[in-house]
Structure 1
Amino acid sequence: MRLNALSAAACRSFHPDWFLPSLTPTPIPGDVRNRRGCRLSPLVPVLAALAIAQPLLPLAPAKALEEVVVQLPLVDTGLTIKVNELRSLEALRAGNSDLAELDRASDGAIGRQVWEVLNQPVPLRLTRIVDGSVGSPLLDQAILVLSTIGKVEGRPPDLTGATLREALDKASATGDLTLLNLIKAIPGQRLTLNLTRAKDIANRMLEQRDEAVELLARLPQVVPPSTPLSPGGAVITRTVRIAVAHRKQPLELVVMEPQATGNGHLVLISHGLWDDPKSFAGWGRLLASRGYTVILPRHPGSDSTQQEAVLAGEAPPPTADELALRPLDVKAAIDQVNGLGLTTKVDNQRVVVLGHSWGGTTVLQLAGARPTEANLRRSCNDVRSPDRNLSWTLQCSWVSGVNRASIHDSRVIAVAAVSPPASLLFPRGSGADLNARVLLVSGSRDWVVPPDPEAIDPVRTAARAGHQLVLVNGGDHFNLRPEAQADGGVLGAMLLKWADAAFSAGEGARPREGAAPLLTGGGWGHADFPMVDATRAVQNP
């Protein structure tokens, strides 16, 4: 591809918005224009993506990489980048690759931006993370997906964490670890980076929310509270630690209870992966101010502290054992709650549990959902499944722990699972084993656990036993958490009503064929994040 071809296609083919939808979540800085006034992509995201994807490729002894080809969507052509031209700005200006021609056409602006990015030091913690993650199913799944975007021609795949670590070691052997050194560390003759495939993945992510968007546009919105939730009674918050049989270290619990006499009901809240109880203090404070005793366990094998250890290279990612250990944390808290010196004794034989993300998966287990490995083993290596999404990286890391993870608790009468990764873990059509009522909540903008495959499809085939599905317009994987908001944030009114209804229903809260929904009427929506009850609209006849 020569400069005359580039001139005709520059504004059309190399504008970043045309071929980098999944790599440019924010506008690309540097409005670079050539002499013809056409805006050209500075290609910074392309090279950054190369540096991320390339170390995931085979590293058997071989000749150093000579050329990179970026296959572009929409146009039947590729952009060539010669590695030996990247040794200096002068070498790039004198080169004959497509990148060199673009650099000359932009009076050196593209070359300067690419050069700056390529020579930025890579944080040392990247090497530490990889050192601690080799052999982790989480890392294996991430490599599997990235390998579909780039490949070295003529070499068999060898996509393991060990090869990634070897690439980082080789790239840093001569001094500072930079993106350019990572590129040079790849053996072979030519690396092809398929941005058409990257665009396909981005389009799939969009399609995984289509039905949720349609339902939110069609179904009547839940009416919000007529007035904002006012502060309730004073709340006492403290942290305690209890000895548990299933962990070597004590389990930390955040206890929130009303300062005045409580109502004797217990609610527990399970946080998600690499999170902690602090992110859900708003739910706890709201419920405790209305009389509930609230316990928030810190799951030590998958909390924010464990994340810090992973980032420092001091620990591997969470193991599949956590799939069973997390519900055991909740069960232990229920067991010992009345030994915590509460102001009001609670009934720990009838409890409600709330959870977000992996915490949502945890509460589904406690409700009686039984994990199975068949779907995990069948689906985890299918990189082109239309249902594949970011949460599969976590779900597929659970395979070795599934057979030990059927851990329900008959004391749990109702659960609320917000954005739970669950479609691979629990078989479609399950629900007959559930001993607690389930409220499933999903946001229309959740790219991590998208609503269509992870919420709508499971509910479509679930037993009709009073379980409910609520969709939140504008909700993503993180803004549905309340943080410290005293009113419980976006979901505060809904979760308060869910808990009230579950405890008021007595044994009627248990799921059964034809059971009336617990959430009815209005007063539990949100003005800024419209909600719909999509249960009947998605269930099969």
Structure 2
Amino acid sequence: MRQLNYSIHKSFNWIGILLGISLLTTMGSTFPAKSAERVQVSLDILERTISVNSLEAYAKRGVVNKDLAPYIQYIKLEQQEQLRRILLKRLEVRPIAVSQFFNTPQAEILLRRLGQVIQTESGEYGSQAIQQALISAANDPEGITLLNVLRKFPASGVRIDLVKGLQLADDLSKLIEQSNKAIAAVNQEAATLVANQTPVKIAALSNLRQPGSYTVNKQTKQFLDLRRNRSLKADIYVPIPDNINQQRTAAPVIVISHGLGSDRETYAYLAQHLASYGFAVAVLEHPGSNAQQLQNLFEGKAEEVAQPYEFINRPLDVKFLLDELERLSQTDVFYRGRLNTQEVGIIGQSFGGYTALTLAGADINFKSLQKDCARINSSWNLSLLLQCRALILPNYNYNLRDPRIKSAIAINPIGSSVFGKDGLNNINIPVAIVAGTADTVAPALPEQIAPFTWLNNPNRYLLIMNNGTHFSTLAESESSVPLPLSVIGPNPQLARDYMKALSVAFFKLYVADRPEYQAYLTPAYIQYLSQEPLSLGLVRSLTEAELQLALERPSPATVISPNKRN
């Protein structure tokens, strides 16, 4: 979910900014305000007004006019500077991208939620006015800054419902607090496991972050699924033996599934690395939810970044690809005898993580979806904007599991609602889930930590990447939009090195059946790999009861905030 999630991530930041006037006009918060000529803030029968001119004078020149003075006095100096920066911060988003995003169901949900808090001066829901203001600001030379959006608001004033704004802010605060407790509990359990584990002779282990000994042959193939009229492109990486000790045998296959709005290039580095260790790797591109689909949305050629049937098409893409690889291994001169399509591993990130878990055996759970999506207007879990689109699908037992897949790695996966507990209970192969504590798109607690407790398989792993974001493990590609460092997070090369080591060890053990690689999948080895600013923690067991107990404890003195940056 690379490019779309960047857009949504930005929208999510604006939600916080637009709600921020609520907190500013109480006892001083870190957030700013909203208005055309003036901002009117209501708290029950109480009304307060701040002019946009006053906000502009303060942001650009540090001048505090009399209508702003009663609020500024309660804000610390560093928070005042943050407020000025937020008012003037420009979002680098193309006007056409803004316009097209507002045509999606996801934007409708976000605007409806914002409209409950940000209203016209007469008290009507302001979702349409917010949309018009953002589009107008995007087409203005000044671009989308909060001040400019306030100026473009199509009314003489903006009314902020402080009660609703504070409730949303309180909900977000509780989510962050709960997430910090869960993350602290996982990190503490990982540290305890390291302390109690039999020491691992690290010096005797290979450095799995370095390339393996195989030469790699890469070919790009185009496949056509006539049954679905769907054309698939895939890069195939085949290991070539360099010496007589590397006998030519059919290599186990690893499939990599990219995220929403991304492409197959974002994990080319991982495919190359795995192939150098003797795996055949197939990195396919899902045509209905890739970077081209996102571009089509922005150009008005598509209505959504992904149609609901992509929840079905994506796993079917992988099944079809494996069928085609099996055909190649029997008929193509180069591939004959090189591909073992009966021993397969899969890696997926974000929507690709959903894809991997589906093929591993997780079922779509419409009961869970209906329950969670009924509360989407009060949720801060952005991934629900995508998950809830699956409700459009016919309520049917799709059974998308593929028995050829023997193990799965899901990086920042989404699935808490689309699978629910009952859906994830059906997985009976080894699974590793990777979570980033600074992931604002698929938050760690609801999307990775809680779902991990629902897995029954004893061969399960939860890797916590502290300060990791939704994009930490992705590489740049030609079709991707460059992301700010604050969105990517610190030291992405370190995150990619982690994935190299984890995936080699995991698939050597659970696909190639090499038990000596178990030593690499221990808390002690993960601690050895761990470096700041992306420290790691690994656990293999966490129950729902243990997680609930952690959430009920008083907040720890020191926690890892999703907004922390080193």
Residues 125 and 313, structure 1, Cα contact 8 Å, conserved in 2: no
Cα-Cα RMSD: 4.6
Deviation at 1:286, TM superposition (A): 1.8
Alignment of 1:381-420 (within 5 A): 381-382=374-375, 388-401=380-393, 403=395, 406-420=399-413
Task: Show CA shifts across 1:88-113 (max 9, x none).
Answer: 999x989863279979xxxxxx9xx9
Q: Distance in 1 between matches of 2:366 and 2:233?
A: 31
Matched, 1:527 2:533: no
Paired residue for 2:505? 497
Paired residue for 1:68? 39
Where structure 1 has 5 or more consecutive residues not aligned to the other structure, the ranges are 1-19, 25-39, 55-64, 104-109, 509-515
Q: 1:479 aligns with which of 454, 469, 472?
A: 472
Matched, 1:321 2:309: yes
Alignment of 1:123-522 (within 5 A): 125-126=94-95, 128-134=96-102, 136-147=104-115, 149-152=117-120, 154-157=122-125, 159=127, 180=148, 183-187=151-155, 190-192=158-160, 194=162, 196=166, 197-198=168-169, 200-202=171-173, 204-219=175-190, 220-221=193-194, 226-229=205-208, 230-232=210-212, 233-245=214-226, 248-260=229-241, 261=248, 263-315=250-302, 316-340=304-328, 341=332, 342-343=334-335, 344-382=337-375, 388-401=380-393, 403=395, 406-481=399-474, 489-505=497-513, 519=521
Deviation at 1:361, TM superposition (A): 0.4
Residues 238 and 275, structure 2, Cα contact 8 Å, conserved in 1: yes
Residues 358 and 420, structure 1, Cα contact 8 Å, conserved in 2: yes
Q: Distance in 2 between matches of 1:453 and 1:174?
A: 38
Deviation at 1:446, TM superposition (A): 2.5
Paired letter, 1:231: P
**1:402 to 1:357, Cα distance in 2 relative to 1, 3 A:** farther
Task: Show CA shifts across 1:334-354 (max 9, x none).
Answer: 010144444443222231111
Deviation at 1:505, TM superposition (A): 4.6
**1:520 to 1:177, Cα distance in 2 relative to 1, 3 A:** closer
Residues 282 and 487, structure 1, Cα contact 8 Å, conserved in 2: no
Deviation at 1:86, TM superposition (A): 8.3
Q: Distance in 2 between matches of 1:205 and 1:116?
A: 21
Paired residue for 2:32? 46
Residues 130 and 164, structure 1, Cα contact 8 Å, conserved in 2: no
Deviation at 1:130, TM superposition (A): 4.8
Deviation at 1:489, TM superposition (A): 1.5
Q: Comparing 269-278 with 373-382, which one deviates more in the overlay?
A: 373-382
Task: Show CA shifts across 1:212-250 (max 9, x none).
Answer: 222213423497784533322211122211111365452
**1:331 to 1:163, Cα distance in 2 relative to 1, 3 A:** farther
Paired letter, 2:312: A
**1:401 to 1:191, Cα distance in 2 relative to 1, 3 A:** same
Q: Distance in 2 between matches of 1:362 and 1:337?
A: 19
SS at match of 2:94: helix
Q: 2:67 aligns with which of 97, 106, 130?
A: 97
Residues 130 and 153, structure 2, Cα contact 8 Å, conserved in 1: no
TM-score by length of 1: 0.71
Deviation at 1:438, TM superposition (A): 2.2
Structure of greater Rg: 1
Paired residue for 1:36? none
Deviation at 1:500, TM superposition (A): 1.3
**1:93 to 1:78, Cα distance in 2 relative to 1, 3 A:** farther
Paired letter, 1:211: A
Q: Distance in 2 between matches of 1:234 and 1:147?
A: 57
Aligned residue pairs total 465
SS at match of 2:359: helix
Q: Distance in 2 between matches of 1:471 and 1:121?
A: 32
SS at match of 2:32: helix
Residues 343 and 406, structure 2, Cα contact 8 Å, conserved in 1: yes
Deviation at 1:168, TM superposition (A): 5.9
Where structure 2 has 5 or more consecutive residues not aligned to the other structure, the ranges are 1-13, 19-27, 74-79, 242-247, 477-491, 547-566
Paired letter, 1:359: G
Deviation at 1:298, TM superposition (A): 0.9
Paired letter, 2:279: Y
Q: Distance in 1 between matches of 2:180 and 2:90?
A: 37
Q: Distance in 2 between matches of 1:390 and 1:174?
A: 28
**1:408 to 1:440, Cα distance in 2 relative to 1, 3 A:** same
**1:174 to 1:502, Cα distance in 2 relative to 1, 3 A:** closer
Paired residue for 1:8? none
Deviation at 1:439, TM superposition (A): 2.0
TM-score by length of 2: 0.68
Paired residue for 1:536? 541
Deviation at 1:180, TM superposition (A): 3.7
Identity of aligned residues (%): 24
SS at match of 2:456: coil
Paired letter, 1:151: Q
